[in-house]
Structure 1
């Protein structure tokens, strides 16, 4: 049977193939909680998950999902901007950090990520990421979210030192309507 290769499932497959289990993970854009739950499964009993969002609705939805799946104890849900993630890490380094840029599915489209805080969060995440760690970015553009954030993120990533980071930008090449862009950054 063919696997689903929607952007989040694709990113999960890559993460599972590259990241150690029972580590420290950050869901920088909690949304509806599916990445947080995925990280909780990877964390097991010994790992930790930090999940961020600025919307109370995202924290509520994620909390309910984790409760349904018996994963509540594995995650710290934080109502704050991903730009502030470093303040919550206590000096710990992350094995993997994931971002979904855009707006909360089923939420207020006027509340979307923006280039200014997103770039700050990516830079903070790269500092927090362990050597050998992976950052996953799902970049949504077009429609409500526009292209400014996409272009700013891609330009920032192009500037990363190739001796310290491997940046892989994927594309859904034969899909129209500005498909999402999955990006992976490996810290060397």
Structure 2
């Protein structure tokens, strides 16, 4: 059986990120990716995690404390657009677009701010680093965001970036898919 989109995203990141690096979780959510990244970079590394919802931060903090990794995670109650303030190269950036599972479905990531966050993220992504963008498009804002993000990614120079789309094309109900952007160079 083929791996699901989240498994592929994590595999791509594991292949590129080293212990001790700085990485970013652009959409903290319930903390699954934040925990994955923290375990990957370990105590010598740093995870910067963003979300605009207090509930997401609370759930993530609880999960990280339970797992003993909270000490090397910088949680920020802020939009992923704030990636622009990061002043060091990062090895990986993870996005899960859409809304907080179990949260208010009216609060979703938005196309314009997501594009700005991706642009900012690409500026701090080190050569050989990777950005993964999980696109959940089964709601109206998600469909708009999907179109905008895909269009933006198609404009990225192939000299500077490789962009992969991993999607099951015979699924019903707008199955999520993955865009992975690798910054070329060494």
Whether these two folds match at TM > 0.5 is yes
Partners of 2:161 and 2:142 in 1: CA distance: 27
Q: Partner residue of 1:181?
A: 177
Contact 2:94 2:132 in 1 (8 A): yes
Partners of 1:146 and 1:117 in 2: CA distance: 13
Q: Structure 1 residue 149 and structure 2 residue 148: aligned?
A: no
Q: Partner residue of 2:9?
A: 11
C-alpha deviation, 1:13, in angstroms:
1.9
Partners of 2:155 and 2:4 in 1: CA distance: 28
Partners of 2:171 and 2:17 in 1: CA distance: 29
Report SS of the residue matched to 1:35.
helix
Contact 2:17 2:41 in 1 (8 A): no
Q: Which of the numbers 131, 137, 158 marks the counterpart of 2:127?
A: 131
C-alpha deviation, 1:144, in angstroms:
5.2
Q: CA RMSD in A?
A: 1.4
Report SS of the residue matched to 2:168.
coil
Q: Structure 1 residue 85 and structure 2 residue 83: aligned?
A: yes
Partners of 2:56 and 2:75 in 1: CA distance: 10
Q: Which of the numbers 28, 47, 50 marks the counterpart of 2:48?
A: 50
Partners of 2:47 and 2:146 in 1: CA distance: 26
Report SS of the residue matched to 1:130.
strand
Unaligned residue ranges in structure 2 (runs of 5+): none
Partners of 1:28 and 1:98 in 2: CA distance: 6
Q: Structure 1 residue 120 and structure 2 residue 119: aligned?
A: no
Question: How many pairs are equivalent?
Answer: 184
C-alpha deviation, 1:16, in angstroms:
1.0
Q: Structure 1 residue 140 and structure 2 residue 156: aligned?
A: no
Report SS of the residue matched to 1:147.
helix
Report SS of the residue matched to 1:51.
strand
Q: Structure 1 residue 64 and structure 2 residue 62: aligned?
A: yes
Partners of 1:53 and 1:146 in 2: CA distance: 17
Partners of 2:142 and 2:150 in 1: CA distance: 14
Unaligned residue ranges in structure 1 (runs of 5+): none
Partners of 2:117 and 2:142 in 1: CA distance: 19
Report the TM-score, using the length of structure 1 for normalisation.
Answer: 0.93
